[in-house]
Structure 1
Amino acid sequence: MPRIPHDSRPDSSLALLADPYGYIGRRCVEFGTDLFEARLLLRRTICMTGPNAAALFYDRSRFQRTGAAPEPLRATLFGQGGVQGLDGDAHRHRKAMFMSLVTAAQVDALARRFEDELQTAARQWSRQPQVVLYDALHEPLTQAVCGWAGVPLETSEVSLRTTDLVALFDQAAAPGLGHFRARAARKRSEAWAVALVEALRAGRLSAPPGSPLEAVALHRDENEQWLPPRVAAVELLNVLRPTLAVSVFIVFVAHALHLHPECRLALQQREAGYADCFVQEVRRHYPFFPAVVARVREDFEWRGYPFPAGRRVMLDLYGTNHDSRAWRDPLAFEPARFRERTPTPFEFVPQGGAEPHKHHRCPGEGIAVELMKVAAVFFSTRLNYEVPLQDLLLDMKRLPALPRDRFVIASVRVAA
């Protein structure tokens, strides 16, 4: 049995943090394999990349999510007890609730709310000399998703809730004080969400029928029991937080429109299906979440390599989206590639792989796509602005990666 190639460093956590999107892919190229082993956060971890590795990783008979995510992510990004850490019947039952919230009609309703909020925000931007787009997108997204989810939000608390929801994904992997701000934001956000859940269950608060707040608060698990209030709060935040994280993708939409003006022209001409191709190429080309983790259920072998029970395994999402075996000229930005063929769910994994109803692929993927399309069309047809001199290079050491100046726009004008 061949030995899995091994990163010789005593612990490679700093190497991963220094190059979160490229570490796995670069080391696999060096080893000439799709996998290698490293010690990360003092735990032996098998790191994998590529479509074949993704297909293996989403084999539920071989991998589980329970106990896989590192504690810093559970304490900030995911929360304790959420759907991301479930397996088997519990996962299928909880995932079905999330999938019921993202029907085409519901996603369209959220997209329309966001378009309205974006237009209102753009009028405010037009009264400012310049705007940092990444920061400016957060409150419109908060107001859109809370209104859609049935979550009451007073004007006076929009800023606080927005700041906390953003911290859950923007500061989760930040060094030093940033990470502790994310932990504090998680504590405040869960307390707020618990109060909403308990008020709705007690009849002190109402929510629109079928809204995410009602669905989560009244959801019964596979044993017909209500979720504990804290777990219900985590799942409500699992609706709100990822929607705000779409701000990262929307900044990349603006970045791509600036670097590729031909894309703006195609969107202005309303070419059939082009908005979908453009948005999907943004999701493939740009960095979002670098990797996902699982644990081996029972001993098995793959390509002759041993996978011992309990071993943590990390799948490289960014590298898989740029794998030359699946993508022609993978570093080029080419929306037309999505007209040529439909990639498999193991080649195209910006928010996880496989099938979302049964596996751990993000249930909010459709929301991300529709909100990005709203922004792409709005920026191309309804918004006039200048892009002043700034640093547009992507900071690939940051999680999530962003243009170093977070994409500044100036002289904003909203078309009538």
Structure 2
Amino acid sequence: MTTTARLRTTARRTGADHLTRAVGRHAGTAYLLSKGYGRLPDLRRAAGGPEAVAVRMLGRRMVALHGPRAVEFFYDERNVRRAVHTLDGAPRRERKALLMTVLSDPDRVGLLVERVREEWERAAADWPEREPVVLFDETARILARAVCGWAGVPSYGTHETTARDLVAVVDGFASMGPRRLRARRARKRQEVRLTSLIEELRYAGVPSGRTTPAQAVAAHRTADGGRLTPHTGAVELLDILRHVVAVAWFVTFAAHALHRWPQHRVVLTEDEGREEYARAVAEEVRRFYPFVPFLGGVAVADTWWDDVPVVAGDAVLLDVYGHHHDPELWPQPYVFDPDRFLGPADTGGPDLLIPQGGGDPTTGHRCPGEDITLAVLTALVPRLARLPHTVPEQDLTIPLNRIPTRPRSGYVMTDVRPEND
């Protein structure tokens, strides 16, 4: 028997055997789909904690990987093709370069953060007259107004409509049923209007010098000198908008954290060290709270991960939630502790904190919006800390079987008063 044949035979056996040993006869697809963020950590614990577990789901073999070594393996295109992306290789890197130019340019990020601050202050001034205030909804509208103004995207209708569509697009990325249907409809509406915008910008001509993100997308040239189709440009521009509005999840998580652990408010209201501590809080929010449960891809070649065979065509999942709550990687992982991000800049390398993917952000699949997420969250965390308000009785639980999750109530505030300077 050849090496490949032995690997495939072992794969068939280990997939079924691991599933049977790990979760028993009641496991099946229903179990895996219902567990949400806990599905992969549960499988690992039941199997004795290995860094790779092979199971079968929806009739397909799946290999779940865990740990920094797994991050490096997962983001190597010789091993895994990201299933959630329509592009890999050179075309993906080219389009990634476009997003990186827009989303990681320090000057552009700074301008966006300034717009977010302005929109936050404008909205917060009205909150005392409009109670109760649902922070998640308010933040989504703030971010939609800020990113559309920054990106050069006109408001068709109201910003509330735009915010609702962008929230629906993010909210439906890993769902089934009504949420998925809402996401598809919202994405189609936004792609239609953004396609028209790209066409209008090209007809008007893109000015020289500093351009808006919408103008940058409209003017982008591919490696062969051609332009993106208007629809493809719309898809790229929509990605930029949704990256920013998705920060509403993290802002709501930050409010939840400051409510549960109010001692962190004290440091955030002091002048000395406020920005450094705000950034540490932002990083800890991204680690502690669940946003992406795992990342998926497809094995492109027959290989092994330790003693587990990985066969070309296998689904490969990178355990993100379990990674961020592993005591081997994060001491006391269920304690919200921003101090772990203070001090030396070296916090274990780029593959230790992976809430928005791992690997090199320039050449790999790490989210190009990570710089913006961190910058916006760092700017808003101190404002949350200084905002006097009451948290009335409400359901602040965070369901781990909902993806993406958030506090059920959206974080309701009453008795909101002007921000403390």
1:11 to partner: Cα distance:
8.3
1:41 to partner: Cα distance:
4.0
Structure 2 vs 1, CA of residues 249 and 207 (structure 1 numbering), >3 Å: closer, same or farther?
Answer: farther
Structure 2 vs 1, CA of residues 413 and 350 (structure 1 numbering), >3 Å: closer, same or farther?
Answer: same
* Aligned equivalents of 1:104, 1:205: Cα separation in 2: 22
Aligned residues: 398
* Aligned equivalents of 2:119, 2:341: Cα separation in 1: 30
Question: Does 2:51 align with 1:39?
Answer: no
1:137 to partner: Cα distance:
1.2
Q: Deviations over 1:217-251 (max 9, x none)?
A: 22122322211222111111100011111100000
**Which of 281, 298, 318 is equivalent to 1:315?**
318
Corresponding residue of 1:107:
109
Work out whether residues 200 and 207 of structure 1, in 8 Å CA contact, stay in contact via their aligned partners in 2: no
Question: Does 2:30 align with 1:14?
Answer: yes
* Aligned equivalents of 1:19, 1:208: Cα separation in 2: 50
SS of the residue aligned with 1:402? Answer: coil
Q: Report the TM-score when normalising by structure 2.
A: 0.89
Work out whether residues 385 and 409 of structure 1, in 8 Å CA contact, stay in contact via their aligned partners in 2: yes
Structure 2 vs 1, CA of residues 205 and 130 (structure 1 numbering), >3 Å: closer, same or farther?
Answer: farther
Question: Does 2:401 align with 1:404?
Answer: no
SS of the residue aligned with 1:7? Answer: helix
* Aligned equivalents of 1:214, 1:396: Cα separation in 2: 40
Corresponding residue of 1:60:
77
Work out whether residues 25 and 49 of structure 1, in 8 Å CA contact, stay in contact via their aligned partners in 2: no
Corresponding residue of 2:3:
none
Corresponding residue of 1:197:
198
Question: Does 2:291 align with 1:291?
Answer: no
1:398 to partner: Cα distance:
1.5
Question: Does 2:342 align with 1:325?
Answer: no
Structure 2 vs 1, CA of residues 121 and 17 (structure 1 numbering), >3 Å: closer, same or farther?
Answer: farther
In structure 2, what residue type is equivalent to 1:18?
S
Structure 2 vs 1, CA of residues 10 and 95 (structure 1 numbering), >3 Å: closer, same or farther?
Answer: farther
* Aligned equivalents of 1:205, 1:94: Cα separation in 2: 19
Q: Deviations over 1:37-59 (max 9, x none)?
A: 23334432212222222121112
- Listed as ranges, the gaps of 5+ residues in structure 2 are 1-6
* Aligned equivalents of 1:286, 1:412: Cα separation in 2: 25
Question: Does 2:414 align with 1:413?
Answer: no
After superposition, residues 236-385 of structure 1 pair within 5 angstroms as: 236-272=237-273, 273-340=276-343, 341-381=346-386, 383-385=387-389
Work out whether residues 24 and 49 of structure 1, in 8 Å CA contact, stay in contact via their aligned partners in 2: no
Q: Report the TM-score when normalising by structure 1.
A: 0.90
In structure 2, what residue type is equivalent to 1:339?
L
Question: Does 2:230 align with 1:225?
Answer: no
Work out whether residues 150 and 208 of structure 1, in 8 Å CA contact, stay in contact via their aligned partners in 2: no
Work out whether residues 294 and 314 of structure 1, in 8 Å CA contact, stay in contact via their aligned partners in 2: yes
Work out whether residues 54 and 308 of structure 2, in 8 Å CA contact, stay in contact via their aligned partners in 1: no
Structure 2 vs 1, CA of residues 191 and 40 (structure 1 numbering), >3 Å: closer, same or farther?
Answer: farther
Structure 2 vs 1, CA of residues 125 and 207 (structure 1 numbering), >3 Å: closer, same or farther?
Answer: farther
* Aligned equivalents of 2:168, 2:40: Cα separation in 1: 26
- Listed as ranges, the gaps of 5+ residues in structure 1 are 70-83
In structure 2, what residue type is equivalent to 1:15?
Y
Corresponding residue of 1:216:
217
Structure 2 vs 1, CA of residues 13 and 120 (structure 1 numbering), >3 Å: closer, same or farther?
Answer: farther
Work out whether residues 52 and 308 of structure 2, in 8 Å CA contact, stay in contact via their aligned partners in 1: no
Work out whether residues 391 and 413 of structure 2, in 8 Å CA contact, stay in contact via their aligned partners in 1: yes
Corresponding residue of 2:127:
125
In structure 2, what residue type is equivalent to 1:399?
I
In structure 1, what residue type is equivalent to 2:305?
W
Work out whether residues 138 and 162 of structure 1, in 8 Å CA contact, stay in contact via their aligned partners in 2: yes
| Percent identity (aligned) | 38
What do you get for the CA RMSD once the two structures are aligned? 2.1
Corresponding residue of 1:151:
153
Structure 2 vs 1, CA of residues 43 and 229 (structure 1 numbering), >3 Å: closer, same or farther?
Answer: farther
Work out whether residues 167 and 182 of structure 1, in 8 Å CA contact, stay in contact via their aligned partners in 2: yes
Work out whether residues 47 and 313 of structure 1, in 8 Å CA contact, stay in contact via their aligned partners in 2: yes
1:92 to partner: Cα distance:
1.7
* Aligned equivalents of 1:408, 1:288: Cα separation in 2: 20
Larger CA Rg, structure 1 vs 2? 2
Work out whether residues 11 and 38 of structure 1, in 8 Å CA contact, stay in contact via their aligned partners in 2: no
